[in-house]
A and B are shown apart, each in its own frame.
With several copies, the nearest count.
Chain A
Amino acid sequence: MAWFRKSGRKQLETSDSDLWTICPSCSAHIYKQEWEAGLKVCPKCNHHARISSTERRDLLIDSGTWREYAAHVTTSDPLLFSDAKGPYKEKAAAAKTKTGLKESVLTGDGKIGGIPVSMAIMDFRFLGGSLSSGCGEKITLTAEHAGRHRWPFIILSASGGARMHEGIISLMQMAKTCAAIARLNDLGVPYLSVLTDPTTGGVSASYAMLGDINIAEPHALIGFAGRRVIEQTIKQKLPDDFQTAEYLLEHGFIDHIVNRKDMKEFLHRVLQYGKRR
């Protein structure tokens, strides 16, 4: 599979040797080859490490069927924003260079086990997967595209929340994308949400939580407010499993926790039930 060859470069940065990868969760030393073959899931503790949007696409979409959509959309700088570290424009440019992406989400369509779908895959590497005008626009355009073709729509989320460098424009993307999801509901077009580590802030409080089925990867951090903010507010320590996928399942917000290696098959199974009748 293409995807783990591509990601080799990233591993060099996070591993302390060329042979081993250290699990960020349990610190187990895993042979790099095993780590890659295992889709960056720790064989000891089932920690699902973050992976890129192209890796996810290659894991889920039938080989040779992907067509990117709304690929022209890239970052905007509606506020002409600048912070202590300099202009947002430069930060965005650096992110593009580093990741080879134009925005925090990859959008397109392809097939899953032969079933055509539209898909939006967020990429945490690109400015923390933040929801920006470009990201919201890509998701909305792709949802509308899915609606026109009556293709099921799947979003894989991985995001720290709204991109504050785009201020109110990024906040409004929550409303914009949710309105697009509402239209899919009215059309009876399936919409599935896959929540991966992390899915927080404005992304958790918009499209990520609204799937016909909400699916999460194991142990993924999912929540609205930040852990530290909550602890400061309520002046209590939070339980360890707070805001994990498992916690959300228990509290009624997630339908299923699915291992990365089983995700394609699981989506395919669900899609059978949403087929047009």
Chain B
Amino acid sequence: MALDFEKPLEEIESRIGELKKLNEKSDVDFDTEIAALEKKLRSTSKRVYSKIGPWETVQIARHPERPLLRDYIQGLCTEFLELHGDRCFGDDQGIIGGFATLRQHRVMIIGHQKGKTVEENIKANFGMASPDGYRKAMRLMNLAAKYKLPIVSFIDTPGAYPGLEAEARGQAEAIARNLTDMSTLPVPVIVIVTGEGGSGGAIGIGVGNVVLMLSNSVYSVISPEGCATILWRDGSKAPEAAAALKITADDLVALGIVDEIIPEPVGGAHRNMDATIESVGDVLVKHLRRLKKMSAKRLIDQRYDKYSKIGRYKKK
């Protein structure tokens, strides 16, 4: 699936594909033409992707073929032992979690689960978690604390699920509780935004010692569409809102929210999933190694300081 701004690339790609097919079937040799087109593809790619704006980044971050939590788990973990239930009401599928062995490191992984098929998406509510999901996540994080396991939290959600039942069972309370309890976890917490970091639904599992972002992911207080509807009174002004909200990885590093950007292949993570996952693994392991050396007290203090510095007011 090509995004709007990727149309020029798609055209070149389809012509290369046609020529390759011809190459096989006919006697005529199109190798020169193919080589030329491939060169053109590279230069056009560079041009197209070098000037993509925040709104295009949003499109990439939401790309249906973008790697999801289960892709990262499959690519990075020799073992994933999923754990279920909030011990109170249910087993939400908007957030999943469990023990994992990530390149030799035993960790607790939690994260939003989106789907690739309609069926998967309905089961996981399109990655929009319910209170049971946030409570399950906190249960698993408390278990990680008991077992002294580092926590890796994968964020990829449009937001917490806005439903009647979710409100009735305390969406607000569940997120608030997590923000509070995550702040005093005595183990390393690594947060990585891999796609959409949607508002309270994201931060609800997003309080970490270190916050990482994939280069084409976004993290925002409100969706660009929602912001445009409210502040521009026109949902179609989402691109303007996306720019104004400063939601890209670069912006967030500049604002002191994100500690490190994990570069994606040209065109986005979905164009080379294996390479993306490898990069994520490398960066996670680097931080795991570093954070595992820190005492519980230092981890808690460092995490507190990290957040108390955000928005620290300096007298002008």
Q: Please give the residue numbers on chain A whose beta carbons come within 8 Å of chain B beta carbons, in ascending order.
A: 72-74, 76, 78-79, 81-85, 132-134, 136-137, 140, 162, 164-176, 178-183, 185-186, 188, 190, 201-202, 204-210, 212-214, 222-226, 229-230, 233-234, 236, 238, 242-243, 247, 249-256, 269-270, 272-274, 277
Contact = CB atoms under 8 A, between A and B. Distances in A.
User: Is chain B's binding surface mostly helix, strand, loop or mixed?
Assistant: mixed
B63 interface: no
Interface of B: 79, 81-91, 99, 101, 106, 132, 136, 143, 146-149, 160-164, 166-173, 175-177, 179-184, 199-200, 203-204, 206-207, 219-222, 227, 230-234, 237, 240-241, 244-247, 252, 255, 257, 303-304, 307-308, 310-313, 315
B149 A273 contact: yes
A249 B203 contact: no
A179 B207 contact: yes
Given A164-B221, A175-B203, A224-B171, A82 B86 contact: no
A233 B183 contact: no
Contact of B146 (A162, A208, A212, A270): A212
Nearest to A172: B310
Contact of B148 (A132, A182, A202, A277): A277
Given A81-B244, A210-B176, A229 B257 contact: no
Contacts of B91: 249-252
B247 A174 contact: no
Leading 8 A-B pairs by shortest Cβ distance: A133-B311, A225-B162, A252-B85, A179-B183, A178-B179, A83-B231, A204-B172, A224-B172
Contact of B310 (A169, A238, A256): A169
A168 B232 contact: no
B163 A167 contact: no
A242 B164 contact: yes
Contacts of B180: 178-179, 181-182, 185, 210
A186 B119 CA distance: 42
B50 to A, nearest CB: 23
B163, B168, B206, B241: most-surrounded residue (chain A CB, <10 A): B168
B304 A252 contact: no
Given A183-B304, A229-B162, A78 B167 contact: no
Contact of B162 (A174, A226, A269): A226
Given A224-B172, A242-B164, A250-B90, A175 B83 contact: no
B177 to A, nearest CB: 7
Given A76-B311, A179-B308, A236-B164, 6 more contacts: A84-B234, A133-B313, A168-B246, A168-B257, A255-B84, A273-B99
Given A175-B207, A188-B146, A223 B167 contact: yes
B132 A252 contact: yes
A122 B101 CA distance: 32
Contacts of A178: 176, 179-180, 183
A206 B308 CA distance: 15
Given A133-B313, A251-B170, A180 B308 contact: yes
A224 B207 contact: no
A101 to B, nearest CB: 15
A224 B167 contact: yes
Contact of A140 (B164, B220, B240, B308): B308
22 contacts: A140-B308, A169-B255, A169-B311, A175-B183, A179-B183, A179-B184, A183-B304, A205-B176, A207-B176, A210-B177, A213-B143, A224-B166, A225-B167, A230-B163, A250-B90, A251-B168, A251-B169, A251-B170, A252-B89, A269-B79, A270-B99, A273-B106
